[in-house]
Amino acid sequence: MKSSLASRLLLAGSALALALVPAARAQFGATTAFTLTGSNVSASTGATTSTLGGVTFSNLGLVGVGRIDATAVDAFGETLGSVSGLQVTNWTINGGGNYSGSFNFTPDRGYNGATFSNYAARIQTVDFNFTPYTGTATSGVAQNQFNLTYNGAASAKFTYDSGGGTFVTTTGLVPDSNTTLAGKIVPFVTVSNGLGTGTTTGTTSAINRVSLDTEGLVLKGDGSGFISDEYGANIYHFNSAKQIDAVITPPAAVIPHTAGSVLNFSSEVSNVDGRRGNQGMEGVALSPDGTKLFGLMQSATIQDSGSGNQGRLNTRLFVYDVNAAGTSTTLSSEYVIKLPVLNDTGSTTLSANKTAAQSEIVALDNTHLLVLSRDGIGNGTATTSGPVFKSVLLVDLATGSNILGSFDGTAGDITPSGTTLAGGITPMTYVEAVNLLNTAQLSKFGLHLSGGFGADTNSLSEKWEGLSLVPTETPGEYFLFVANDNDFISGSTVMRGLDGNLNAPINVLTANGLSAQNDTMFLAYRVSLGGVGQISAISAIPEPSTWAALVGCAALLVAVARRRFLVT
C-alpha cells in the first residue's frame, strides 16, 4: 500500500523568477478593516513589499509547485486527504540551490457527503527534495521542482488515554455529547448514524470516542506539539508519541451553547452563542522563542457577528504563555482582527456578502503573525465563478487592544450593535503580504483561476489552509510554503465507516457534479523579512547566516548534504 502511494505522488514543481524591477506595494496598505471592491486578482510582475510595525515583508515570487494525486491512499488504507495545518521539519540546505525536508500536515475530519466518516485524527508526513526555479521564463516552466515521497513510517494517528492507561484513537464524527480529557470538557461521540444532523433516526453504532476536527498544527523538534480543533474550539497538546496529554480550552464566550446555555459541540446544530459550526479554532502557532502560543478563531463567534456571512468578520485571537514542555499554559492576552469582506461574484457595485475567513497562522515573533485569509471559491466547489480573494496578511498585535477578561463570559459580546465593536476596542492592523491570485505568477507554470464547474486539475483550489516558513541559503530570505485542503475530493475516495472498516471507494466527483479532482498542492514563495528575529527556532532550524558559515566549511557541508530521510 505504501509503495503504491509513493508511485502515485506526482513529482511536480515549478516556479518563476521575477524581473528585476522596483518593488511594488501590496494590493492594499495597512488597515484595521478591508472591504474588497471587485476582485483582488492581480497580473503585476516584480516583487511586492509591505511594512508594518517595524517588520518589512517582500514577496519575491512563486518559485515552486508540488502536487500529490487526490486518489493517493495513506498508510492506514484511507484516502491521504490534504492540508488543514502544516509544519516543515528536517529542513536541510544541501547547497547548490537544493533543499530537503518533510511536510507534516493534519487533514480535517474526513470526507463528508451523504454520510460522515469515522476518521481518526492524524499527522501525515511527506518527505521532499526541492530545487526552486530561478530562471527568467514567463511561460512553459517544467513542473519538476519538487520530488515528493509519502513517509508512512513517520505518519501517525493521535491517541488519548480513555481510562486505565488504554490509549485509543479519536473520531471525526459529529459530537453528540461531551466527556472529560486531561481535566477539561471536550467533544465526544457516544453513538452515531453517520449523519451530521444527529443520531436520533436510523441505525446507530456505538462509537464512544473523543471527536476532533483537526485544523492547525505546531510540531516541535522533539516530535511533540499542538493541534487546534473546530468542534470544541480547543487546542490539544500531544507528546512525541502523538498521545494527547493536555487540553487548552478557550474562554466561555467561545464555547457553543443552544438556548438555555446548554453545552452543544455539534457543528450541525444551530447554537445561540459561542463558536460557529465549522468555524472553530482554525489557526495555531508557537512563537519562535517557544514562549507564546497563538490561537485564532476562523471567524467571529455567533454573538460577535452581524447579519449575513459578511457579518462574521470580527474574530478573536488568544495568546497563551506556555512552558517549555507545552503542557502548562496561561491565557495572557486576547485581541480582535476584522477580517476582509468581499462580494463573491467580484462585483464592483454589489455590497459585500462574504467574510474572507482565516485558515492558518504563522508567528514571526511575539507580536507579528502571518494570517492566511481567503474566499471559498475555486476547484472543489460547485460554482461558475473564479476566486476573488486569497491572501496572506501581515498582522501586528501591538496595534490592537488587549480585551482579556472583558468579554469572555458565556455569550460575551464584543459587538453589541451589528458589526460595530464595543467602545474601547481597537482591532489589530494588517497589510497584505502575499496575493495568491497573481495570474502572472500562476500562469508561468500552467495554473489558472477557472473555478467550479469550469475547473480542471490546474485550477487554483478552493481552500488554502497550510502555511510554513523556512530559511533559504540567503540571510534574511525564506521560503513560505502554502498548501491546500482538498476535502478528500477524488474519483476514488476511501474512508472508514461507523464500524471502523474501510468502505467501498466513492466517486466524489460524480456525487457532487464536479468537473475535476482536487489534488493536494504546495506553493513555494521566496520572501524576504526584516525587523524580526530568529523565525524557525521551534523546528531547530538554523538561521540562514549559520548556513552561510557552513558553506565555507567543506567537511560540514558534505555532512549536511548526506543527511537522509526515511522513504516508504
Condensed to tens digits (0 to 9), the pLDDT of residues 414-447 reads 999 899 999 999 999 999 999 999 999 999 989 9
pLDDT value for 380: 92
361 HSE (CA, 13 A, CB side): 31
Give the tens place of pLDDT for each residue, 339-392: 999 999 999 999 999 999 999 999 999 999 999 999 999 999 988 889 999 999
Residue 333 pLDDT greater than 50, yes or no: yes
Q: Which of 137-141, 356-360, 557-561 has the lowest mean pLDDT?
A: 557-561
Residue 27 pLDDT greater than 90, yes or no: no
Q: Which residue has the higher pLDDT, 556 or 346?
A: 346
Residue 544 pLDDT greater than 70, yes or no: no
- Residues 24-39 have a mean pLDDT of 86
Residue type at 163 in one-letter notation:
G
Give the tens place of pLDDT for each residue, 103-115: 999 999 999 988 9
pLDDT value for 20: 33
Residue type at 510 in one-letter notation:
T
Dihedral-angle region of residue 180 (phi above 0 means left; psi in -120 to 50 means alpha; beta otherwise): beta
Cell 470526507 sits at which residue?
111
Q: Which residue has the higher pLDDT, 538 or 172?
A: 172
pLDDT value for 566: 28
Phi then psi for residue 211, to 5 deg, are: -105, 130
As a whole number, the mean pLDDT across the chain is 89
Residue 203 pLDDT greater than 90, yes or no: no
- Residues 80-94 have a mean pLDDT of 97
Are 310 and 355 in contact by the 8 Å Cβ rule? The answer is yes
CA distance 232 to 218: 18
Cell of 3: 509503495
Q: The pTM is what? A: 0.91
The 3-state DSSP class for residue 285 equals: strand
Burial of 21 (0-12, 13-18, 19+ CB in 10 A): exposed
The confidence band for 262, taking pLDDT boundaries of 50, 70 and 90, is very high
Q: Which residue has the higher pLDDT, 234 or 511?
A: 234
The beta strand positions in 111-258, using DSSP E, are 122-130, 146-150, 156-157, 159-161, 167-169, 177-181, 184-192, 205-210, 214-219, 225-229, 235-238, 243-248, 257-258
Residue 559 pLDDT greater than 60, yes or no: no
Give the tens place of pLDDT for each residue, 120-134: 999 999 999 999 999
Phi then psi for residue 161, to 5 deg, are: -80, 110
CA distance 434 to 61: 9
The 3-state DSSP class for residue 3 equals: helix
